[in-house]
Structure 1
């Protein structure tokens, strides 16, 4: 019987206390997170099954169910067994990193000796590792008389090393990253990633992000950091990827980061490895140069079609849910990029999400297959999308009256899901505010009655509860227990108020904030409609000059230098991926700039047809030029208005034809109807936060 120290402690505790213990008790006893205890429970359950016993739960107490005779046999075995300091996951990591650095078959006996187990146990570990590696196109080959060897391309080997760390040691990695940020880290990561190299790369990355227009979520940043360290580590060890061409289309900024990194890092990097770094960068970044959360109208179209398909499948209309629309627009560009370039992403909640939302999972999978020509995204990738839809489906909940701070580094979808699950399962809670790990130190915790986190926090300002983003029943009970205990303290600064049946359902958004946002929407609508210009020109000229003339015409009060700056930013945006809308004759030129004071929309129909690069990298004939300008800083309400216009261009075939007509008498009513819908939706929502 092979047990880790934690597993043995859990079993011994359960044997001694037949009444059982709570998850929180084991978390405190072992000084690990609840999630880690739950993972250990799975192994413990398999061990108990060997003795015809089972791990059962009564209320919140876990206990061993079975006969006294079998319990006695288990107790005897525990007394005689020795615990291993390393978990199976840690043993498999040792196997993986050892095999990944071998260029010839490696003897099983030597491999077993390195990880401190018998050859039979090593063989068992290799079987489980082989199953895990298979989806990554990495195989473990056994050669009779020669040994064992890892067979895969160098890129896939690097991906396997990074993915394994991210999947099985995600909490440790997050803790280690924050030690780097506080400059308290001294040890190498997992006896493999040099701490000096990690610090150097982290400094370069942070500096570049601060000086650029890019931003990166915590999980994306961590993944990129690990991938980059592994790439440099292996290239220096002589494991190169010269024979693996890069076939994807990379942006100028991706190459710019790679060139900057190569210059600043204290190591020699080949041109081929520099291109690989550019690919890793582009897969991780989130472009912050968007208007309303979109980067490509192709993505907008995909999101619209997916929402429509899921709405049809589930028989519930989600097409007017702007929060869902905006959330998917923020997520889908990176998801599609990873799909196109066969880059994997790890989602530790995939299996839980799939079990909890099986029908939603199937509806999304079917919708994506229809939109991606029969292909589908990976399970882990789809799980993130399911979180967005799951959140939207659970957003229609009753009023709550206890304020909650949610700290969740797993991404917008996961944190939003936790918020809506709280609203459903614990209606006592009120205004939910989500803060990232990076933001938590700047938030005033005293403003909140309860603080929840999906990961362990180091040095929190006050007590918090650790919960799963999907809020299983045991976490619901834990939160309710905390509320019951803290209720007197909470009620000292609150007044109870009941909602009578004949009253309107109260909105969760403060009235003044609601009026302010509604006013911002109305001003944005007036600005767009007042500055809408539709014209036709017959003169032939270079399309760049045409765009420059459009900017000059709508910004007559600006200095020439300011107009030039706006033009250059618009042209920069075109270089990043093309602005012609596929399967139409339209091109959307857009940007935000500090010199722009009002939103403007200009549509020019040309007699000449121009061949411009489209958003799908193909050439398309363009005769309708659409210029959308906005101020540098937009509120969420103003962003919603701008997003409505961009989505309207490709809402339907009829809408595309109207905007391509060049006739203001058709275009203006189309825009007015769409903006009126935004205003009506705003005034009717009761789920605003």
Structure 2
């Protein structure tokens, strides 16, 4: 018995009726054929018990018998599973981790037949796993290839190590950054402890100011390099002596040398000059070394250009330009180097940024888009979101501050703590007034923009209110940031109307496509691109730019709309295409009913901000999306926009 079969049997024992094999196959991400094979194995294992496993055509599978007999049978299955190797798991995530370790990290020869028999799934399930792995790693590497019999990675050593690093980093989250259990799926525990001492516990002077998610990515990269070196596989030294000397200059070379000495001493692993060069270059890409110490005049001009583009989009002059310039001068060179090398850094705040500041996120991507051609890189959502934070802080200073009133209900001993936490979270130019619940009625609310109630669920007031707990946990922080944005940021940055003035002037009825049927996201995108090409709005590079953007990050909103976009230099003239679908299509994580493809050329960058704001206002909530889908034709849709 394997873990999937144990879980499957327990699930069926708890079900009151027949469960279709198709439903079970979807739940365990295997084929129906595999489910029936599992049932045959289980039936044989519990053949001497007093339960019956029934298979009924067009109904499914059911376990019948008394509860006490089901419990005995469940124990029989569990005992059989304990005698078997724990390596076989129930989830695709476990299978994929083991395959990445075997094929990519260890370079072991694997066949579809071996994996299918080992995991007790079909060859199709294995190929689906490989396709899933390739979606993550194949952006900057060849991916795992199949000839129908065996599976093989044909990239060079740098590509192999980058692929493994990308997979391990991509499949973790902020909660797993210090989890040895997660890393033990891939690496030897002794190697993990050695690297953990260097990157996490000791926090040497080289890494003490480096964010945890940067340190984690570097730790994984070094774990991969160490594991490969232990197997006798090394990075080839670059042929260009000048390039080699440049990459080994400065602090990054010293860090790499010290790190390899520590690993070699404890683990008796030999590293080559090529390995040292590779690590030194990666350290530089994470802002450890020459990149952090000196910035060229070329970067000065690039940073100034980016800030100017954002000011044009936002139609503001950003205060504190000097601080923003310094931050971007420090961040952008390392970001570009990371992207050129295919290194992945995850931003744990990405989800919050995209959900709370979608317009600014989109404008930041637009303002940064010129970097792709200039430095031959592909931007991704994580890197764009880091820069969004810098712009958010800078632009937020433009907004006229209004008072925040903090009302406390008991818990006087926590007042100073809560006040300090709120001050750390909200913009620096926010002004605060504090009061107890008893004195609230005496407060003049004329200039108060938001009330924060500590240990209060609600207050009867016309001023926007948000309640938080005295502990001020992550949920409270998210609630407060959203309330602040809704009450104090969005009203002052909007146009003061729910109408869509720029969209109204820019929309072309010929580019509104009504109640079309699309089998998937790819067909929906190709449909719109075909129409925009036929209208002469975009050039031949537009399609590849759209699909590249989709591959590197999500463009769907929780409302059920998707807003794909391409780099502006692929656009010939302004055009906004709408696709209202008859039935939703699956778009990465959610079903999407409306696709909006806005094309704005560089020459019309001045309207980009207002156009994006109009589009977001139109489709940012689920009720509005459902209302649009419920309309009958283009005329009704245009009436909605023009009213």
TM-score by length of 1: 0.44
TM-score by length of 2: 0.47
